[in-house]
Structure 1
């Protein structure tokens, strides 16, 4: 069975909506493109490295449409490596509608999204979920992910769709490596999904701060 990796860009208040541009997801959001002023070479290299070994993409409908309009036309450009990868690997799309999937190698997932994602995981070693916040909410709720790469940017927006929205289930995560910061203050946090539920403890008296599992 393969691994499902979620790749997300967020603010300090964990807003993940429309980091790339004002037209990406404008519904009820006035800060589209908030990530652009904070890009640097360090985070760019981290993102490129995160895609190494990818053998399938798992995307929500909105992210798929953005990618399908962009990546097939980037051959020979500055992002040629990522373009070649994204154009080559299978793309699996979560959508309740009947989208026109014109990007080569694209397949719509069925109405049983959790079951379809499990089958994708069985077929591929490293499946990447990029953006796709609505899809991510389902994966978090169903515990259908293995890794979470979260780039936290030094800005607070106070509005927008958040990474952990209503309906997120209690879960433990294990930090895979020390946090890595770029020159503009963006911090990469890499986690693995861990077993069990969050523990609780009592710090009100000496010797009582040892956590216990909240069953």
Structure 2
């Protein structure tokens, strides 16, 4: 069985909507592209390292359309190896509609999303989920993820779709490495999902 790893970018109030650009997810959201001013060399290196070993992408429809319009046309340059990776590996798309799957290696997942994701996990060793907040909500709810990379950026927006929305089930996570902050204040957190549900306690019973 392979690993499903989620890559997410969030503000300090955990808004994850449209980090990449104004046209990414503009409906009712005036802050599209909020991530761009906060990316620096450290954050870029962290994101690059997170894709190492990827042998499949699992994407929501909106993210897939953005990627399919961009990455097939990128060659060489600083992001050339990411373009080569994304263009080479299989792409699995979660959509209720009929997406254009002309990007080589693209497949639409079946209507039973949870079962389809389980099949993808059996087929590949390292599956990456990038953005795709609606899909992420399903994966969180169904506990269909193994790792979570979260980049928390030092801004508050107050509006927008949240990374952890209503319906997220109680889940234990273990920090895999110490948090790493960039010069601009973005903090990278890498977690693994662990069995069981979060325990509770009573702080008044703790000894002084």
TM-score, structure 1 as length reference: 0.95
Which residue in the other structure is 2:27 paired with?
27
List, as ranges, runs of 4+ consecutive aligned residues in structure 1 with deviation greater than 4 Å: none
Query: Cα RMSD over matched residues?
Result: 1.0
Q: 1:79 Cα shift?
A: 0.6
Cα distance in 2 for partners of 1:102, 1:134 equals 22
Q: Matched residues in 1 for 2:102 and 2:162: separation?
A: 30
Unaligned runs of 5+ in 2: none
Q: CA deviation at 1:100?
A: 1.2
How far off its partner does 1:28 sit? 1.3
CA distance in 1, matches of 2:203, 2:72: 55
Counterpart in the other structure of 1:62: 62
TM score, norm. by length of structure 2: 0.98
Q: Distance between the aligned counterparts of 2:187 and 2:89, measured in 1?
A: 28
Distance 2:45 2:206 in 1: 46
Task: Describe the superposition over 1:186-211 as per-residue Cα deviations: whole angstroms up to 9, x where unpaired.
Answer: 0000000011111111112444x9xx
Higher mean alpha-carbon deviation, 121-130 vs 75-84, is at: 75-84
Number of aligned residues:
208
Q: Which residue is equivalent to 2:14?
A: 14
- Distance in 2, matches of 1:76 and 1:188, equals 27
Offset, 1:102: 1.1
Distance 1:123 1:114 in 2: 14
1:27-46 aligned within 5 A: 27-46=27-46
Match of 1:135, SS state, is: helix
Q: Distance in 1 between matches of 2:206 and 2:4?
A: 42
